[in-house]
């Protein structure tokens, strides 16, 4: 498969603590890749690197063959125009309507006239099932509707890459399943490269084509979903079968892991 994003020897520290330990992997183009792992494994830190919000200690992140870790702010801004991001809390501006939230990237980054922007806003909201909600404010929406509105804004500039940070967080199972179906629809219709950070196994099994699994800052799996399910790696089995860590560690090893060593 053609790689859209290539990560090579990525290492990150917060102070003296090593968060990502020289990890390497590829993200295939036109597929849904899930970055999977437990709390504190480095998923969110990795996402911030992929969208250029953090600079690593060492390593390369090649997007369409260009290393974003070496880019100046202006050059990185151009790359970000090809990215859409749905943050965990939707990150909508509460003081403006849903329509204005979706229109904001178009007003900031394009020269489209206002009538065209309004047409595009209606199209994006219809795409995520929010047609008719244009005049409402974020405080008037449910959690699931906020996520959909955030997704409409992430889609505003027709991105090549779409990133999701824990999209199912705070949602009930039915609403979460509806969001998963929307992710599948976007992949199938627009053939975009989608990257989803999550620890929710039902979502992983529904949407993933490809999986990158992190454990304590290391990549312990990178490959198709079917291969993940068939893996006999004890750390992977523990996660997929919801086994507590003490079942695969000696007491000394267990307490070293808890301490972050």
Best CA proximity match to 7, nearest among 40, 54, 46: 46
Overall fold of domain 3-258: Rossmann fold (3.40.50)
**Tell me: the pLDDT tens digits for 54-84?**
999 999 999 999 999 999 999 999 999 999 9
Please check the confidence at residue 48 and state whether its pLDDT lies above 70.
yes
Length of the chain in terms of residues written? 261
The pLDDT of residue 91: 87
**Tell me: the pLDDT tens digits for 147-188?**
999 999 999 999 999 999 988 887 888 988 999 999 999 888
The pLDDT of residue 251: 54
* Residues contacting 180, CB < 8 A, separation 6+: 168, 202, 203, 206, 207
**Tell me: the pLDDT tens digits for 205-253?**
999 999 999 998 999 999 999 999 999 999 999 888 877 765 544 555 4
**Tell me: the pLDDT tens digits for 27-40?**
999 999 999 988 87
Q: Where are the domains of the chain?
A: 3-258
Backbone φ and ψ for 72, nearest 5 degrees, come out as -75, 165
């Amino acid at each position: 498969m053609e790689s859209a994003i290539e990560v090579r020897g990525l290492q990150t520290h917060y102070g003296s603590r090593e968060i990502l330990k020289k990890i390497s992997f590829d993200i295939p183009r036109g597929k849904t890749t899930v970055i999977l792992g437990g709390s504190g494994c480095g998923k969110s830190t990795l996402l911030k690197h992929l969208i250029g919000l953090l600079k690593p200690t060492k390593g390369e992140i090649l997007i369409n063959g260009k290393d974003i870790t070496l880019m100046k702010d202006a050059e990185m801004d151009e790359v970000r125009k090809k990215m859409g991001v749905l943050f965990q809390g939707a990150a909508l501006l509460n003081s403006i309507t849903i329509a204005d939230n979706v229109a904001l990237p178009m007003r900031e980054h394009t020269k489209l006239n206002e009538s065209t922007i309004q047409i595009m806003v209606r199209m994006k909201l219809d795409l995520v099932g929010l047609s008719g909600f244009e005049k409402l404010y974020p405080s008037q929406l449910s959690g699931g509707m906020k996520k959909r509105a955030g997704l409409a804004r992430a889609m505003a500039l027709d991105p090549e890459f779409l990133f999701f940070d824990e999209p199912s967080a705070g949602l009930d199972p039915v609403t979460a399943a509806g969001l998963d179906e929307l992710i599948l629809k976007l992949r199938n219709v627009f053939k975009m490269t989608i990257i989803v950070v999550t620890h929710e196994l039902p979502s992983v099994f529904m949407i993933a084509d490809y999986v990158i699994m992190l454990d304590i800052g290391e990549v312990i799996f990178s490959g198709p979903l079917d291969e993940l399910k068939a893996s006999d790696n004890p750390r992977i089995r523990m996660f997929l079968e919801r086994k507590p860590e003490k079942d695969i560690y000696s007491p000394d090893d267990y307490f070293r892991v808890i301490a972050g060593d």
